[in-house]
Amino acid sequence: MKPLGIGVIGCGVISDIYMKNCAIFPQIELRAVADMRPEAAAAKGAEYGVPAVTVDELLKREDVDIILNLTIPKAHVEVGLMALDAGKHLYAEKPLAGSVADGRRLLQAARAKGLRVGSAPDTFLGGSHQTARNLLDTGRIGRPTSGTAVMMVAGHERWHPNPDFYYAGEGAGPLMDMGPYYITAMVNLLGPVSRVVGLAAKGRDRRVIATGPRAGQEIPVETPTHVTGVMEFASGALVQIVTSFDVKAHRHTPLELYGTDGAMLIPDPNHFDGQVMLHDADWQAQPMRHAHGDGNYRGLGLADMAEAIATGRDHRASGALALHALDVIESLLRAAGTGRAETLTTSCDRPAPLPMGTAQGQIETMEMAQ
């Protein structure tokens, strides 16, 4: 297939891996970059050999088919609607939007124009998580009954030079930042969530930046920094979830899934690699038979969407999946405020699995093998 043109809006920290990986996947080709800071766009354009232009100029380019929105979460909807209004397909970093209502606006706007919306995370398409999906689908742990999803760190101010937005109200906090990885990974395995319960707390009111030119500067905390709850899946499985910026050390594994005949330990869903451990009679490391399991392949979901546009099939890292993950997050936070169980208002299908034994980058070959 002829590659679809990618235009990037937002040239911050996360943009490097996407721009680098555009060269890995034959389904996509980086065409131009833009940022509200012209110097940031100019630097990335020079580094990756593409034009650095204004946002308006990028949206008017005929060689750009998909806008890759890498802006901060608060700008996701505004930029996304601009892209759709310009007739471009949209793929966004997570979360899809700051609220379910805004996420619905994006999907409704896309449907009205016959355009696609996709969203990170796409790490569930990585080798380790596809290995876990295959083990589950082939019945290796029996019927899934329960599990855990744990992401607890001391806070992003330790490594990020400008961590303000992680703590600044709507669209911030550990659940909104990291929850999409853990929730999406579990939806990939178990299907949609039906209801949740939750509690939340704020460890402290201010944080100190530890690195970069602003090291030593204090920033305010305007959102809960420790959120815990239980997700009840439509299948009946119950999964405990904890996300925190208040924990200096722990020994929990990222994801665990328990079934009637066994259990699985599943690697960090913020990554594409890692070792899946299966227990039926004893714990055994499982061989990885899927591609994209030995590095950082952010952009795999974007490439899959590009191919899906060309071939007319559904894409895996879909707007519906991202909206459902956002609904889980919003419902957990709402439950933490009300003290009551919250029923979700969205649902989604489990994304199609990727077939085994395929070379990296060759999504088209994988699809033809199905």
Sheet order of strands, 89-92 included: 28-34, 4-9, 66-69, 89-92, 117-119
φ, ψ for residue 282 (rounded to 5)?
Answer: -160, 165
Question: Whole-angstrom Cα distance, residue 366 to residue 370?
Answer: 7
- CA–CA distance, 249 with 270 (Å, rounded to integer): 18
Residue 289 burial (10 A CB sphere; 0-12, 13-18, 19+)? middle
Torsion of CA 205, 75, 36, 305, to 10 degrees: 130
Beta strand spans in 26-179 (E): 28-34, 66-69, 89-92, 117-119, 144-152
What radius of gyration do the chain's Cα atoms show? 20
Maximal CA-CA distance, the chain = 60
Helix (H) or strand (E) holding 8: strand 4-9
Cβ atoms of 280 and 142 within 8 Å: the answer is: no
Are the C-beta atoms of 135 and 275 separated by less than 8 Å?
Answer: no
Q: What is the DSSP letter of 302?
A: H
Distances 185 to 4, 42, 254, 302, 355 between C-alpha atoms, Å: 27, 35, 11, 17, 17
**Active site positions, annotated:** 94
Q: How far apart are CA 273 and CA 268, in angstroms?
A: 8
